[in-house]
């Protein structure tokens, strides 16, 4: 698996699984009916953000991640990141590889920490992954997410220093 900077030509390979994940409404705070154009703007924003893809030897895009400042101005030294793995590649280490790549990129870009603002508490695979990579839950928004099957569930704020 290769992880590289995403190009506009990658978007048609990202969009199908991004649309599936968002439409399921279980892990992202995006509108479930997000349009392709809205999603492209959100997932592939201009610098200083960057988007990467994890690509199989056959050229299939297995997942993607986005790295950006969590806030602007005096808060831009803390990174934020988002990750999506195609359901067909779930459990194959794609998310962990993307996370390691993004953490290294954030350090190289001079970020001092990384913060996830809205990790859905019922997304246990993600929570376990982030904890295994040194993230801590530093906050909880009770019932901050409307899950389609479980009703209102908590959102977690997770943080990790990068030094």
Residue labelled with tokens 């990068």: 162
Three-state SS for 67?
strand
d(C-alpha 72, C-alpha 154), whole Å: 26
Q: Check if the beta carbon of residue 81 is closer than 8 Å to that of residue 64.
A: no
d(C-alpha 156, C-alpha 135), whole Å: 11
Which pTM was predicted? 0.93
d(C-alpha 113, C-alpha 110), whole Å: 9
pLDDT in tens, 67-121: 999 999 999 999 999 999 999 888 889 999 999 999 999 999 999 999 999 999 9
Q: Check if the beta carbon of residue 100 is closer than 8 Å to that of residue 114.
A: no
pLDDT in tens, 7-53: 999 999 999 999 999 999 999 999 999 999 999 999 999 999 999 99
């Amino acid at each position: 698996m290769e992880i590289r900077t995403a190009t506009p030509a990658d978007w048609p390979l990202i969009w199908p699984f991004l649309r599936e994940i968002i439409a399921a409404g279980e892990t992202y705070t995006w509108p479930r009916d997000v349009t392709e154009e809205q999603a492209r703007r959100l997932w592939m924003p201009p610098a200083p953000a960057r988007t990467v893809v994890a690509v199989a030897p056959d050229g299939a895009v297995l997942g993607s991640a986005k790295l950006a400042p969590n806030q602007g101005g005096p808060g831009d030294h803390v990174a934020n990141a988002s990750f999506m793995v195609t359901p067909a590649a779930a459990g194959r280490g794609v998310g962990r590889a993307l996370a390691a790549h993004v953490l290294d990129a954030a350090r190289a870009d001079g970020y001092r920490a990384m913060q996830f603002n809205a990790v859905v508490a019922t997304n246990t695979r993600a929570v376990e992954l982030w904890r295994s990579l040194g993230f801590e839950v530093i906050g909880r928004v009770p019932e901050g997410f409307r899950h389609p099957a479980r009703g209102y569930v908590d959102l977690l704020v997770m943080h990790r220093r990068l030094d």
